[in-house]
């Protein structure tokens, strides 16, 4: 296991009614005038907006609103938020929504403290957003489980004519605190609830399918969270108001990326499935979690074939997570992938890229864009040809 530093700078207020801490906790972080940001309006339909505003009013906090942040949020929303924050003399940002709203607010938090364009704030050759040296204080009220943005230091913003998804990564944009009330996720439509499940599972897998470094604690904890996700997703499908199922999925979302804890002691920060999946969202505005479910089985088979020395990690996943009882590693790993495909089908993910509306003629351009900043992956390196093979296999 390699050396590491572990820090989760975000306080999580988890459970029913935790919104009651909102006003005083914002004040304890020095907030008096809040930029209140949200998405396309779901919070106005399910009552979360009223509860939030009531708390701000009770605490005597002023606020200005940034609304209509779209899924796969665009840099224009970030720029609008920066302008609103500055023009109105805000000193705190409150994001109420799913990953898209949270991510836009992280970029706003860094952007209001930076004189140049937002485009400078994305990850550079150093591996993080090295231009960020300060950020406004940010809190989140999560309304949809999946991305882990509520407890992590990342954000993904869509930029430019070609809708490139760019990553911002810096510890200073970790929220100061996040309010995680599972009841707030009752109204998430089934499609987005299940896409969230696929996203959580993929975050866990991206940290699990890494070169063997003897990080047993990280991998065993990771296996446990993966199993909890597999167990609770069907309960959510059966009953969207199952509190414990919502609570487990929400906490799994937060734990999956908190401090990148399951990657500690391991080399690199690869996330190849995300690198490929973002191109599907760029091209088709496809829901993030769906892109990952579509590509994962094909990527697993590709990696087992091209880097067979890593087969044991796929066999271990099959046995410890998918409960495959098979002695032979290759057979076990393949059975694990089949079980994963069956799980994706059970949570109503499309079976392949074709079914999801992807055009075969677009695959090559997407493969090229996926690697424009360098090859992807760590178990095996994926250049354009390899990404294209995976996309064709997923088609």
What is the binding site for ligand NZQ (CB under 6 A)?
39-43, 46, 71-72, 97-101, 103, 143-144, 146-149, 152, 154-156, 184-185, 187-188, 192, 196, 199, 257, 274, 288
Q: At its nearest, how many Å lie between ligand NZQ and the CB of residue 346?
A: 19
Q: Which does 103 bind (CB under 5 to 8 A by kind): ligand NZQ, Zn ion, none?
A: ligand NZQ
Q: How many residues bind Zn ion (CB under 5 A)?
A: 1
Strands 62-66 and 177-180: what pairing?
unpaired
Q: Show the tokens assigned to 97.
A: 């929504």
The Cβ of residue 209 has, within 10 Å, a number of other Cβ atoms equal to: 21
Separation of CA 53 from chain center: 27
Q: At its nearest, how many Å lie between ligand NZQ and the CB of residue 46?
A: 5
Q: Show the tokens assigned to 218.
A: 């990280």
Buried b (16+ CB within 10 A) or exposed e, 307-335: beebbebbbbbbbbbbebeeeebeebbbb
Q: At its nearest, how many Å lie between ligand NZQ and the CB of residue 138?
A: 12
Binding string, residues 181-210; x marks residues near Zn ion by CB under 5 A: ------------------x-----------
Place of tokens 């920060």: 269
Q: Show the tokens assigned to 235.
A: 């309960």
Per the DSSP assignment, residues forming a β-bridge with 97 are 142
Q: At its nearest, how many Å lie between ligand NZQ and the CB of residue 129?
A: 13
Which CB atom, from 55 or from 178, has the smaller least distance to Zn ion?
A: 178
Q: Which does 111 bind (CB under 5 to 8 A by kind): ligand NZQ, Zn ion, none?
A: none
Which CB atom, from 25 or from 147, has the smaller least distance to Zn ion?
A: 147
- Quick check: 187 and 234 in contact, CB under 8 A? no
Q: How far is CA 117 from CA 77, 107, 121, 175, 253, in A?
A: 13, 11, 8, 22, 31
Q: At its nearest, how many Å lie between ligand NZQ and the CB of residue 5?
A: 19
* CA 283 – CA 261 distance, rounded (Å): 31
Strands 33-38 and 62-66: what pairing?
parallel
Q: At its nearest, how many Å lie between ligand NZQ and the CB of residue 335?
A: 27
* CA 358 – CA 283 distance, rounded (Å): 9
Q: At its nearest, how many Å lie between ligand NZQ and the CB of residue 196?
A: 6
Q: Is 152 one of the binding residues for Zn ion (CB under 5 A)?
A: no
Which CB atom, from 31 or from 39, has the smaller least distance to Zn ion?
A: 39
Which CB atom, from 41 or from 211, has the smaller least distance to ligand NZQ?
A: 41
Q: How many residues does the chain have?
A: 395
Separation of CA 365 from chain center: 24
Torsional sign, CA 248, 225, 178, 293: negative
Q: Which does 187 bind (CB under 5 to 8 A by kind): ligand NZQ, Zn ion, none?
A: ligand NZQ
Which CB atom, from 170 or from 316, has the smaller least distance to ligand NZQ?
A: 170
Q: Which does 192 bind (CB under 5 to 8 A by kind): Zn ion, ligand NZQ, none?
A: ligand NZQ
Q: Which does 188 bind (CB under 5 to 8 A by kind): ligand NZQ, Zn ion, none?
A: ligand NZQ
| Binding site residues, Zn ion, CB under 5 A | 199
């Amino acid at each position: 296991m390699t050396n590491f530093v572990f820090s989760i700078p975000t306080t999580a207020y988890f459970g029913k009614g935790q919104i009651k801490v909102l006003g005083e906790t914002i004040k304890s972080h020095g907030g008096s005038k809040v930029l209140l940001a949200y998405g396309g309006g779901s919070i106005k339909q399910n009552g979360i907006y009223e509860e939030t505003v009531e708390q701000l009013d009770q605490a005597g906090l002023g606020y200005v609103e940034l609304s209509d942040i779209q899924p796969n949020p665009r840099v224009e929303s970030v720029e609008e938020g920066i302008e609103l924050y500055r023009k109105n003399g805000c000193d705190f940002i409150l994001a109420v929504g799913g990953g898209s709203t949270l991510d836009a607010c992280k970029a706003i938090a860094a952007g209001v403290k930076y004189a140049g364009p937002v485009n400078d704030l994305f990850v550079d050759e150093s591996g993080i957003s090295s231009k960020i040296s300060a950020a406004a204080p940010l809190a989140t009220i999560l309304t949809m489980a999946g991305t882990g943005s509520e407890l992590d230091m990342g954000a993904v913003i869509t930029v430019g004519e070609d809708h490139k998804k760019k990553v911002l990564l810096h510890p200073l944009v970790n929220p100061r605190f996040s309010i995680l009330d599972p009841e707030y996720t009752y109204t998430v439509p089934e499609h987005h609830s299940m896409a969230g499940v696929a996203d959580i599972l993929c975050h866990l897998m991206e940290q699990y399918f890494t070169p063997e470094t003897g990080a047993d604690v990280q991998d065993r904890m990771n296996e446990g969270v993966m199993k909890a996700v597999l167990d609770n997703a069907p309960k959510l499908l059966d009953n969207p108001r199952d509190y414990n199922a919502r609570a487990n999925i929400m906490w799994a979302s937060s734990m999956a990326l908190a401090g990148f804890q399951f990657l500690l002691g391991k080399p690199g920060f690869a996330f190849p499935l995300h690198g490929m999946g973002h191109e599907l969202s760029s091209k088709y505005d496809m829901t993030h979690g769906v892109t990952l479910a579509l590509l994962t089985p094909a990527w697993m088979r590709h990696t087992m074939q091209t880097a067979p020395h890593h087969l044991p990690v796929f066999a271990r996943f099959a046995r410890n997570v998918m409960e495959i009882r098979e002695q032979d590693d290759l057979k076990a790993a393949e059975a694990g992938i089949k079980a994963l495909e069956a799980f994706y089908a059970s949570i109503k993910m499309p079976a392949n890229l074709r079914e999801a509306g992807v055009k075969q003629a677009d695959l090559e351009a997407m493969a090229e864009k996926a690697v424009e900043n360098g090859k992807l992956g760590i178990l095996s390196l994926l250049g354009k040809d390899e990404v294209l093979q995976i996309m064709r296999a997923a088609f």
